[in-house]
Structure formats: structure tokens, C-alpha cells
Amino acid sequence: MILPNIEYATSEMFVAAAAMVLLMIGVFRGEGSFRLVSALSVLVLVAAAVITVWMSPGDSRSAFAGMFVSNGYTTFLKVGILLAAAVGIVLSIGYNAREGIDRFEYPVLIVLAALGMMVMVSASDLLSLYIGLELQSLSLYVVAAIRRDSVKSSEAGLKYFVLGALASGMLLFGASLVYGFSGTTAFTGLAAQLTGASAPSVGLVVGLVFVMVGLAFKVSAVPFHMWTPDVYEGAPTPVTAFFAAAPKLAAMGLFMSVLAGPFGGLVEQWSQIVIVLAIASMVLGAFAAIAQTNIKRLMAYSSIGHVGYALVGLAAGTEDGYSAVLIYMAIYLVMTLGAFAAILAMQRSGRMVEEIGDLTGLSRTNPMMAGMMLIFMFSMAGIPPLAGFYAKLYVFLAAVEAGLYFLAVIGMVTSVVGAYYYIRIVKVMYFDEPEDALDPRPGRDLGAIQFVAGMATLLFFLFPSLLVGAADTAVFSLTGG
Amino acid sequence: MESWPLLSIVTFAPLVGALLILVMVRGDREATDRNARWLALWASLATFLISLLIWINFETGTADFQFVEKAAWFKFPGGYTLNYHMGVDGISMMFVLLSTLLTPICILCSWEIKSRVREYMAAFLVLETFMVGTFCALDLVTFYVFFEGVLLPMFLIIGVWGGDRRVYSAFKFFLYTLLGSVLMLVAVMAIYFLSKSAGQGTTDIVELLKFARETGFSAEAQKWLWLAFFASFAVKVPMWPVHTWLPDAHVEAPTAGSVILAGVLLKMGGYGFLRFSLPLFPDASVYFAPLVYTLSIVAIIYTSLVALAQEDMKKLIAYSSVAHMGFVTLGIFAATAQLSAGNLPDNLLGEQAVSGAMFQMLSHGIVSAALFLCVGVVYDRLHTRRIDRYGGLVHRMPRYAAVFMVFTLASVGLPGTSGFVGEFLVLFGVFQVNVWAAALAATGVILGAAYMLWLYRRIIFGELVKPDLMRMKDLHPREVAIFAPLVILVLWMGIWPEPFLDVFDASVKNLLTSFKAGVCRANEACFAAR
């Protein structure tokens, strides 16, 4: 056989082919095919998730001459990415139609971005990693600027593009250094060289640092976060919702598989960097969010903070830590998508509003939405018994296990600072009297997504083992498989 | 009866009630409010009856945990399976009863709440679930989930149904207590990994108590862990100087919120000291005893003086709570202060003091709750808490004056009331250990009499001259129904405290025995003597 094990890339091939078909449908049906293409895209993404689970090998299998790997870890991430992307498209349908950006390219671009993410988490070579990352990034640049006639949206797209290209350049430069000093770009080759080697060459470490800079940009860890608030605020809200979910999960998964896989032997070197990134992200995410009045900017800083917490698990550099990162990101994904579904439902006389003050008195005008938002906010603040608490519990357990007490204490204290701005939203919704009510029924799909995400967050404590078990299995194949 | 998961039922029955209220109660506004009230009352009364059933079946002679339930919950790193583990011993039994008793009273006294009745009642029932769960939990993580979960409904109760400065108070309450408890969470995680040195790490309280008796944490680790737990419990109790959230929260909370806050939430701190700090970190408890003593005595004297200067009734009672809780912390750490002198006597004193602290917590739970209810009665009529707006109420409200008198005297610690037994036992125990501390604390009793009696005089006695007081009505039947059980309890506990002391006697003895064993292990001389 020319390409052995090619069947383990079935879901990628399926998504790639489907994206082309969707594009054709859009082209031939012309304008007005947005809803059809969106619906089909959601179907494609869900089908791809099913295929991924179905085709998942019990152990680790590589294909394409070692460029591509499929195992429990990649399956976990891909399912998360595909479902988050599907929800992202569902969130956008009503909004895009209303705001006049109902172009069929939009869902196709999201499908392509999802394909890029699938390739990058499955990459087992620095080159295939780069290809996947760029496919994802280029799709996202376009999506951020999809509203061409809006200055803010164009600015967001441009900013994201310029800074993203810089980060990609850094990553590529780092990859070339790594290649120059080790003679290989394959993950297995790098891992073999680095484990057991006495002292790693300085050039290799420098290369690693550049690769990490590129990846830190993608997860928007401080100090490579500057693009996040502007892009989050400028991009159309469904795009922001998408950015906050799937690409974050993919980038974090990639960050982890790169550090734990090929560079696993350099754990002492990179964990110092990750600790600094984690502390900076948690502190900035907590303090900078306090002053925000725009809820999308607030979510941007909140996401920076959450990345910081997830990095705490990575900094531990243990299997428990990696599994904690996966648990954290999965819970974060659900909370974020739910919160954005609520933000998208913030309309007044049919127009979108996005100031925190617009939520005033929501508990009286729309108790259901306020209740769900309450759950998301307390959960993000990490108050038990909501899901966000367990997410924090696991990452900090990993940190304490690794002896990183100071990191755990700093993280806990910043989570109290962070709680301030989350409960401020609760205060606006519950303590203040309503002035100018939001529209009562902003769409059944948004309500359904809020409800499902809210219940998952609220009732997580009943069945935590499902997620914990899945994350443990995934991490086992990352480190042991 | 044995096979029934009674503790889970008593914990989650209110939650079921809350869900029913939120889901089932529909219709026009008036019907909704009425149904929500009655449903909440029935749910909380049913819970109270179940807790009485537990009390009746509770065996007093033993220090073992009873009504134990255990079920695997989720997996921790390292293969440890965390259990949902519930059980009560003498120390927690009474707090469970206190919580289930005060909740129906809170619901009754909130009968006149007008805005968002459905949500209000649901919030109180959710709060009850978390309170009862806190006292029943036998696993550190389970405990933490309940302990911190309390913040959620309480934050909403203060913030939504509170007074003018409710937002500030709610935020202060939330952030203060959260900051304290997150440090405890780090300590909980550390405990899991440190107890691993003896094989499998654990967060199970029963296992940990055994571990502390037999192996124990290193002296260095104990100090850090003790401080982290102290951060959480000292804020909750609250001890001086981290008490400042309490007056704000009390003043702005609705009456029922103050009742729960003073009656149950403050006791979680004292419970935490007894359940965790003393038995798990005995060396650190000895080491830090002077600190606790100093803070307690400052709390007793300083906050009593502050209470004297208050113009606001609720604030005065709030400060008196801080002072009374000072006696509690003093009593809890009496045994440790004895050991800090470096001697290890055969007869470990402090049993009276610890029992007294327990009793004082129960008594204060009822008395301060009742005092806030008394303030609520006149506040409902005149909508002010300023002391100088009242005077001469005895002429219009004789029944009210009598009830208020009982609780004022109980708060002062008059023999025959519950307040006397607690304070006497604490002072008696502390006196054997440290004469100076007892003497200074005793001045707090005098100051307590001063501010409480003065408050009573200014509100109840004197000429009835203020025109808006002329129309004040005496207690109506619902209010009598609220106060009657509390008056009976206060007198019962004061005249015949035996049944209450019996419940926690064995557990307190056991606590002190294992505490002494813990201290002994670290002390060479003690080993030699054996």
C-alpha cells in the first residue's frame, strides 16, 4: 500500500472533501444559500465527530510517513473542536442573517478552520503542524473581517492577521532552529534525541523558545495577548464566540502535545516559561477585566485568565497536569459557548447591544437567561458546586502535586480578584432595577444552547467521572502510547 | 431505619423543595407568592422533622460517626477515588439541628416579603442544603463544596433583598469569605498529597483523623496548613480583625438573612476549628494558641466597646456577635494554651472550655438569631433600625417587651438562660489554664451586660413620647409562633443543659484525647513518660 494507515485520517479527508462540496453548493446556488450551507456544515461537523470516534484506534497510529498521528488524545481534542465549531455555526445563523453578513463563505471558512485545527492537533512533525496551523489561521483572519463595511471588524481582521503572521514567523524560525540543531523535524526523532541526552544544545533550547512564543500567541497567553481584546471586540459576536472556543482548545492541545511529546525531555526548561506565562495571564486576566464595560472585551480578558489557569496544569509537567488541562479546556468550552449564546441574545428592538450595563435588571425581564448567565458567571469564578470549580480543582491539584505551591496560591488569589468582575455581572442582572428591557425572546436556538450549556455546568458534579475518565485516557495515549 | 440514607435526605430535601418552587409554582402573582411561601414552609418543616428523627436515633455514648453514607464520587490524580461521605458525630449533630430549626423560622419571618417571593424562598432552601451538607460532610472536598456553596445563595439574599447599601455589603461578604476559603482549598490539596507519605493519600476526614492520631503531618507542614485553614475559619467566625464584613452584611441583609448569618454561618468557623484545626494539626494549634488567645480577647473587649457606641440596632447585635464568638474561639483553644507552657499533664484540662464553646455556639445561634428577629419585628413596623427612634415600647407592646427581655438576658448570660451555661463553662475552663485570659474575658461579660441592657432600656423603657410609636401593634400570632420555640429552647438549655451537653460530650472527650496523642507524638518527654 502506498499510504499505510491512511484510514486514520478519514475524518480529515471527509471534512476536506465536504468543505469543497459545500463551497460548490454555495457558488452554484448563489446568494441566499447561507442557511442551507450553514445547516449542511453543522451536519458535516457532527458527522466528522462521529467518524473521528468511530475510526479512533485503540492505540497510537501514525500515517503519512510519520507526519500524522491518531490516538486517544487527538480524538478527544478533535471531538471537542468539531462540536464547538458546530455550535459556533449554529450561534451565527440568526445573527448573520439579521446583520446582513449572511454569506455562504462564512460556514465554509469555519469548516476549513476546523480542518486546520484537526490537522494541527494530529501533527507529529513540525511541518505538518505548521500546515495545519496556517490553514486554521488564514481561515480565521478572513472570518474576523467578514463584515467588510465595518471599520472595527476590518481592523480586527487586520490586527489579527499582522500579529498572527508575526507569530507564525516566530514559530517557523524556531522550527528551523530546531531542525538545524537536531537534524530532524519529526516528533518521534526529537523525542528520541532529547530523552536521556545529558545537556541539550543551546540552539535547540532557543528554537524551543521561539516555537513556544508562536504557540503562546495562538492561545493568547500574556505577554502575547495584545490582539485578543481588540479582535474579540471588533469581530462580529458569533465570530468572537467561535474564537473563544474551538481555536483555544486546539491551540492549547497543540501547545501541550508539542511540549509533552517531542520536547518532553526538556520539561525543566519549558516548565519555567509556562509558569511565567501562567502567572502573567492569570494576573492580567483578573485585573484588566475589572475596568471593562464592554462584555466582549470582558470575555476577552476572562479568556486570557482562563488560559492562565489551564497553563497551570501544563506547568506541572505531569500526566495529571496534562489531564487537568484537558478537563479545564472542556469545561471552559461549555461555559464560554453558553455565555456567548447569552451575549448574542442581548438585543434591544432587534439591534445588538454589548455593554454590561445593558444587562441591567435582566433577572426580572428575562429570568431564564439571567439564571443561565448566573450559572456561567459563578462557574467561571470557580464557585462550587458548578463545573468551573472542578476545572480549577484539577489544575491546582496538579500544581500542588508538582510542588508548585506558590503558583497555586497566586492562582487562587487571582481567582478571587476575577470573581469580582464575574459577580459584578450578577449584580447588574439581579441587584439593579430594570430600565430599558432587552428583547424578551431572542431566538429558540440561542435559548436552547444556553440551557444545555447551563445544565451541563450546573449538573457536572453528578457525573464528573465521564470527563475525567476521558481526559485520563487521552493523556495516557499522549505520554505512554 | 438504619438503611435509609437519612443524612442525604435531610441535606437534599430542601433542594428538592427549591426545585419544586422554581419549576412548579406558576400562575398569577398572588397565587405564586402564596404557594411559594407555603411550599417553602412545608419543605423546611419536613426537613426539620427528619433531623429530629436523626437526633432521636442518635447514640450519645459514642464518639463514632453515625448514619454514615459513602459512595464513590470521582477520581483524583494518583488513582484515589473521592467519596461522597456523610456522617454525624456529637459535634456536628447539634449544628444540623440548629440549621434545620432556623430555616423554617426564617421562612416564617419572611412571610411579608413582597418582591420576588419565589426566588427568595428557593434561595433559602438552597442555602439550607449547603448548610446542612457542610456539617454532615466527612470528606474534605465534599465539605469544601458545601462550605463555599453557601456563598452563592447568601450573596443573592443580601444583594437582592437587602437594604440601601446592599451591593457593597454583598460584595464585601462574598470576596472576604472567598479569599479565606480559597487558601483553605490549597491546603486541602496539600493535605491530599502530604498524607500520601503513609501510602495512599486521602481527603476522607475519618481517615485523616486516624492518620493524624497515628502518624501526623510534620511540624513545619502543620503550621502552613493550620494558617490556611485559619484564614478561612477566622473570616467565617469572624475573629478580630477580619470581622469587618459582618456588621455590613448584617445591617444590609434582610432579617432572615441576618438570622441565618448569625445563627448558622458564623458557627461554620467554630465547627471548622473543632473538626479540622485541633485534631489534624495539634502541634500547630499549640504553637498558634497565643495568637488565637490574643485575637479572641481583643475581639471580646474591643468589639464590646464598639457595640456600646452603636446607633443602629442591627449593628450593635452584630458587634455583640463578634464578641460572643470571641468566647467560642477562646474556649476551643483552651486545651492548646495549656500545652503551650511546655508541660503535658496527665489530666488534660480544657474539656469544660471546649464543651462550653460548643454550647456557647448553640446558644448564640439561637439567641442572636432571636435578637435579629426582635429587631425585625419593630423594623417591619417602623422601617428604621435607629435606636433613638424608639423608646417606651413596653407600653404598647408588652408581649414583645417580655420576649425581648428573655433574649437580652440570655445574651448577657444570666443564670437560667442558655447564655450562662456556655459562658460559664468557657470561663471556668479558661481560668484553669490561664487566669489572666479568663479575667480579661470576664470584663467582656460586664461590657456585654452594659450594651445589651442599655439597648433594652433605650428601646423598651422610658416614656412613650414619639408619635409614630403610638400606633405600634404588639406581636401577632405568626410572630408568637416564631418566638415561642426559641424562648422555650433558651430556657430549657439554661435550666437543664444536660441533654444537649450529653450529645457532644463523648465526641469532645475523643477530640481532646486524639489531640493530646498528636501533641505527645512530637514530644520526646511524653514518650519517655509512657
DSSP-H helix ranges across A262-386: 267-290, 295-316, 319-344, 362-365, 367-381
Give the nearest chain A residue to B82 (CA atoms). Answer: A465
Pick the residue from chain B with its C-alpha nearest to A364. Answer: B116
Q: Output the pLDDT for position A283.
A: 94
Name the phi and psi angles at A61, rounded to 5.
Answer: -125, 135
Contact across the interface for A461 and B179, Cβ inside 8 Å: no
B133-190 pLDDT tens trace: 999 999 999 999 999 999 999 999 998 888 888 899 999 999 999 998 898 999 998 8
Contact B160 A430 (CB under 8 A): yes
Pick the residue of B152, B192, B229, B252 with the most A CBs within 10 A to test the interface with A by mutation: B152
Q: Which residues of B touch A390 (CB under 8 A)?
A: 74
Residue B462: phi and psi, rounded to 5, are 90, 180
Of B145, B170, B174, which has the smallest distance from its Cβ to A384's Cβ? B145
Q: Mean per-residue pLDDT for A51-66? A: 85
Rg of chain A taking only CA atoms, in angstroms: 21
| Sign of torsion over alpha carbons A238, A244, A249, A250 | positive
Query: Distance between CA A190 and CA A192 in Å, rounded?
Result: 5
| DSSP label at residue B82 | E
Query: What residue of A is the nearest CA neighbor of B148?
Result: A384
Q: Tell me the C-alpha distance between B333 and B328, whole Å.
A: 9
Taking alpha carbons only, the member of B482, B463, B474 closest to residue B371 is B482
| DSSP-assigned letter for residue B277 | I
Q: Which tens digits make up the pLDDT trace of B337-352?
A: 666 555 555 556 677 8
Evaluate if residue A131 carries a pLDDT over 70: yes
- Is B3 or A403 the better-scoring residue by pLDDT? A403
CA A112 to chain centre: 16
Alpha helices in B347-497 (DSSP H): 351-382, 398-412, 418-433, 435-460, 477-495
Higher per-residue pLDDT: B91 or B219: B91
Task: Share the mean pLDDT of chain A.
Answer: 89
The C-alpha atoms of residue A228 and residue A234 are separated, in whole angstroms, by 10
This prediction's pTM: 0.92
Q: String of b and e for B314-345 (b: at least 16 CB within 10 Å)?
A: bbbbbbbbbbbbbbbbbbbbbbbbbbbeeeee
For residue A431, the distance in angstroms to the closest alpha carbon of chain B comes to: 5
H or E segment and range at residue B95: helix B90-109
**Amino acid A198: pLDDT:** 66
pLDDT at A158: 92
Our CA-based measurement puts residue B142 at a distance from the nearest CA of chain A, in whole angstroms, of 9
Nearest CA in chain B to A432: B160
Q: Which amino acid is at B189?
A: M
Note the pLDDT of residue A481: 47
Q: What is the mean pLDDT of residues B420-442?
A: 88
**pLDDT-derived band of residue B2, with 50, 70 and 90 as boundaries?**
low
Mutant choice from B114, B182, B188, B220 vs A, greatest count of A C-beta within 10 A: B182
Task: Please judge whether A385 and B159 are an interchain contact, meaning their C-beta atoms are less than 8 angstroms apart.
Answer: no
Q: Which of B171, B183, B193 sits opposite A423 (nearest CB)?
A: B171
DSSP string, B315-330: HHHHHHHHHHHHHHHH
Q: Name the DSSP letter for residue B244.
A: T
Virtual torsion, Cα A60, A66, A70, A73, nearest 10 deg: 70
Task: Examine the pLDDT at A162 and tell me if it is beyond 70.
Answer: yes
